[in-house]
Amino acid sequence: MADNCIFCRIIKGEIPSTKVYEDENVIAFKDINPAAPVHVLVVPKQHIDSLEALNEENIQVVAPVHKAIQEVAKITGVAEQGYRVIVNCGPGAGQTVMHLHYHVLGGVKMGEKIL
Ligand code: 5GP
Ligand code: ZN
- Tell me the CA–centroid distance for residue 59 and ligand 1, in Å: 23
What gap in Å lies between CA 1 and CA 37, rounded to an integer? 30
Torsion angle of C-alpha atoms 104, 109, 111, 114, degrees rounded to 10: -20
- Tell me the CA–centroid distance for residue 5 and ligand 2, in Å: 5
> Would you tell me how many other CB atoms lie within 10 Å of the CB of residue 28?
25
This prediction has a pTM of 0.98
Provide the pLDDT for residue 88: 98
Question: Residue 17: CB within 6 Å of ligand 1?
Answer: yes
In this prediction, residue 1 has a pLDDT band, given cuts at 50, 70 and 90, of confident
Instruction: For residue 42, give the H/E element and its range.
Output: strand 38-44
Q: Name residue 65's amino acid.
A: V
- Tell me the CA–centroid distance for residue 76 and ligand 2, in Å: 25
Q: Which of 47, 99, 101, 103 is catalytic?
A: 101
- Cα dihedral 95, 38, 21, 9 sign: positive
54-96, pLDDT tens digit by residue? 999 999 999 999 999 999 999 999 999 999 999 999 999 999 9
Question: Residue 88: CB within 6 Å of ligand 1?
Answer: yes
Which domains can be identified in the chain, with CATH numbers?
Answer: 6-106 (3.30.428.10)
